[in-house]
Structures are given as C-alpha cells and as structure tokens.
Structure 1
Amino acid sequence: MDTAVVGLSGTVVGVVGTLATTRLGGTEQRRTQNDQSARQERATAYTKLVTACSRTYRLGYAVHVAVQDTHGRAEASPGVAEASPGVAERLQEFSLAVESAREVVSLVKLHGPEEIARAADNLVSAMSGWYREVAFLAQGEGDVQWAGEAIELYEELEERFIALGREALSRTPVPA
C-alpha cells in the first residue's frame, strides 16, 4: 500500500508541476503579446503625430516664407506691398493642420509614457505659437525674428519628441 500511495503521490506532484509550468508559460506568453501590442499601439500613435507634424511643417513653412517676403516688401516700400496671392488660404490650411496635430496628441497621451505625452504637448504648443507668429506677420503686426525663433523652437521640440519616441520604443519591457 505504501508504494501505491508513494507512486500516486509522485504522479499527482508530476501533474501539478506540469499544470503550473503550463500556466506560467501561458502567463508569460500573454504578457509578451500584451507588451508587443502596447509597443505597436505606441508606435502607431507616435507615427501619426510625426506624420501630422510633418504635414503641418510643410504647410507652415510655405506660408511663413510667403508672409515673410510680403513683410519684407512692406518694410521696403510701406503701403506698396500687398499680401501674396493665396496667403490667407494657406494660413487657414496651416491652422487646420495645427488642430489636426493637436487631436493626434490625444493618442500619444493615451499610450504614454508621461514624458512622451508632455513632449507631444510641448511640440504642438510650439507649433501653435509658430502659427500665431506667422498670422501676426500676415496681419502686418508681427516680428520676423519672433516668427523665426518660433520655428526654431518647434524644430527643436520635434527632434526631442522623435528621440524620446525612439528611445521608448527600443526599450525592453520591464516585467510586471
């Protein structure tokens, strides 16, 4: 009887051990899949923001140059220079693109981490500031130097966001 009990106990321990190993393996596999899914969602959010910002930058730069040229002609010959054709429309496109980028920041905030969410906010705030400076220039009330500084700030913050995003996506996830 003792050998039967010992044999049965050994079998039970073996089965329990197998079940525990299977459960731990399944948990680790789910964790790995969740980490991969979260990383992919972050990558998608970051990519959408960078894409929206690139589009906005192109629109903003084109209108910035056009407004700056108009501003320069107006300073050289006050009252003579008129706004370049289409500046108002391009300025409106720039404004809409800034708002689109602002909406994408929500995705970045959702997927984090906090440092990148702040960097995304700062990036779009700088873009908004650049837009305001270009709009002031278009109205003849702005300062060319301030508009230039606004675009430089935006470019600096864009580089920072991209660097933080790359770093976050390349990190090995820490087990929970």
Structure 2
Amino acid sequence: MDTAVVGLIGTVVGVVGTLATTRLGGTEQRRAQNDQSARLERTTAYTKLATACSRTYRLGYAAHVEVQDTHGRAEPSPGVAERLQEFGLAVESALEVVSLVKLHGPEEIARAAGNLASAMSGWYREVAFLAQGEGNIQWAGEAIELYEELEERFIVLGREALSSTPVPA
C-alpha cells in the first residue's frame, strides 16, 4: 500500500477512536450527573418530610396534651380548637410531602412514608375524636406511639439509603 493511503487509514481510525471515546465518556458523565441529580432530589424530599414530621409532631403533641387536659370537661378550653386546626394543617402539609417521597422512592422508603402518613392521619383523627368527647385516651396514646415509631423508621431508612451507594429508583 501506498504510504499516503496508510496514513489516511491511520487518521480515519484515530478520528473514529477519538469520537467513540468521547461519546462513551459523555454517556458516563451524563449517567453520573443523572445519578447525582436523583440523589439530590431524594435528599431534598426526605429532608422535607423529616422537617414536616417534626413540625407535625410539635403541633400534634401540643394539641394532644391540651385535649387530654380538657377531656371530660363540659366546656373544652378555647385553645383546643385552634391547636387542633394547626395540627390538621400540619398533617395536610406533611401528606403533600409524603407524595414527593413516594415519587422518588425507592420502594421501601415509599412504603415507610405511606405508613407514616397513615399513622399521622390516625393520630390526628384520635385527637379530634377526643376533642369532640367521643375518643378514647388510650387509643390516642397508642396512635402517637405508632406515629413516633414509624417516623423513626422512615428516618433510619432514609439515612441508610442516602449514606450508601445511590439507591435505584
């Protein structure tokens, strides 16, 4: 073969090799960026839920204590309705964040968030029943314990998921 043809073939092979390497590198870089972005979205969703749960717990506990203190009285204290309303709004706000966590997964965390949402709603219902004079103090106490347990479970699972290698969606 002529030297010019060999040189041309070498150049073509070099260019094709460079393009293939660049393409593979770009694909890996995009994959890494997508993984990093998904991890950041998960972290944000988990943090938002933990924050919403903390607020819900604080408001729920205040309502729960006030309702228990007035349970059995002919007239509940005026602050009960306000505390209960604040608790209800906090639950609604947290439930919106639960949907975000479910969206980002993974499945085990989505399930934990769903269980936490159910416990949160159940606790609110029990405190509302108590406020209306129809509830059971023991059931309300069990509802707060279940909420505390499931909140801790969610936090432990979230921490594990975020501290390990990226979790598949």
Q: TM-score with structure 2 length normalisation?
A: 0.90
Percent sequence identity over matched residues?
A: 91
Q: CA deviation at 1:71?
A: 2.3
Q: What is the RMSD computed on CA atoms of the aligned residues?
A: 2.3
Q: Deviations over 1:108-155 (max 9, x none)?
A: 122111221111111011011011111111122222111111111101
Relative distance call for 1:74 and 1:148 in structure 2 (3 A) is: farther
Secondary structure of 1:157 counterpart: helix
1:52-71 paired onto structure 2 within 5 Å: 52-71=52-71
Relative distance call for 1:120 and 1:133 in structure 2 (3 A) is: same
Range with greater deviation from structure 2 (102-111 or 166-175): 166-175
Range with greater deviation from structure 2 (30-39 or 139-148): 139-148
Q: Deviations over 1:9-28 (max 9, x none)?
A: 22221111111111111111
Relative distance call for 1:74 and 1:115 in structure 2 (3 A) is: same
Relative distance call for 1:147 and 1:165 in structure 2 (3 A) is: same
**Corresponding residue for 1:170?**
163
Relative distance call for 1:174 and 1:94 in structure 2 (3 A) is: closer
Q: CA deviation at 1:42?
A: 1.0
Relative distance call for 1:118 and 1:174 in structure 2 (3 A) is: closer
Q: Contact 2:72/2:133 (CA < 8 Å) preserved in 1?
A: no
1:146 and 2:133 correspond? no
Q: TM-score with structure 1 length normalisation?
A: 0.87
Range with greater deviation from structure 2 (120-129 or 166-175): 166-175
Return the alpha-carbon distance in structure 2 between the equivalents of residues 42 and 106 of structure 1.
12
Aligned residues: 168
Q: CA deviation at 1:175?
A: 9.1
Return the alpha-carbon distance in structure 1 between the equivalents of residues 58 and 167 of structure 2.
38
Relative distance call for 1:23 and 1:96 in structure 2 (3 A) is: same
Q: CA deviation at 1:162?
A: 0.9
Relative distance call for 1:174 and 1:50 in structure 2 (3 A) is: closer
**Corresponding residue for 2:14?**
14
Return the alpha-carbon distance in structure 1 between the equivalents of residues 145 and 74 of structure 2.
24
Secondary structure of 1:175 counterpart: coil
Q: CA deviation at 1:99?
A: 0.9
Relative distance call for 1:175 and 1:74 in structure 2 (3 A) is: closer
Return the alpha-carbon distance in structure 1 between the equivalents of residues 91 and 168 of structure 2.
37
Which residues of structure 1 form unaligned runs of 5+? 76-83
Which residues of structure 2 form unaligned runs of 5+? none
Q: Deviations over 1:56-111 (max 9, x none)?
A: 11000011111112227789xxxxxxxx3300111011111111111111211221
Q: Contact 2:60/2:84 (CA < 8 Å) preserved in 1?
A: yes
